[in-house]
Structure 1
């Protein structure tokens, strides 16, 4: 007979890797065309002037310039828009 009780199985113990989402360039920062400005899952921040969006909603600079965030308000919700000022 065993002296110790055998270990049971568990349903926990899984986790996914971090996806490194968020703002990559802050307001007032100088960026070059092609730099990633923000990685996001849905449009938490909208693309503005000289800013493109990838198929995974990543915002990137289309031109060299300075990053500027501006508030935008619709009838239902408040957003922020990300622009590149040349």
Structure 2
């Protein structure tokens, strides 16, 4: 499965569509709430807050893969992502119960 570029491409298609749609939805909802003179700063802060964590995680993954090996690093980051998703879901479900 790791050696199939077709599966990788097919898997990245729904991922990209979902991420892109979510990203644009959040950006659209933020921009419409800001005054015209505040939009540039808001969009700049949004991009920094969006991409900086991704860059830091990518660098940490590269460091971990170099020192621990690819498979242990990939397993650790998969568990980390699942834990963060579960935590986010718990927060969301907790907000709905209020």
TM-score by length of 2: 0.20
- Structure with greater strand share of residues: 1
TM-score by length of 1: 0.22
- Structure with greater helix share of residues: 2
Which protein has the larger Cα radius of gyration, Structure 1 or Structure 2? 1
Structure with the bigger RCO (C-alpha within 8 Å, sep 6+) is 1
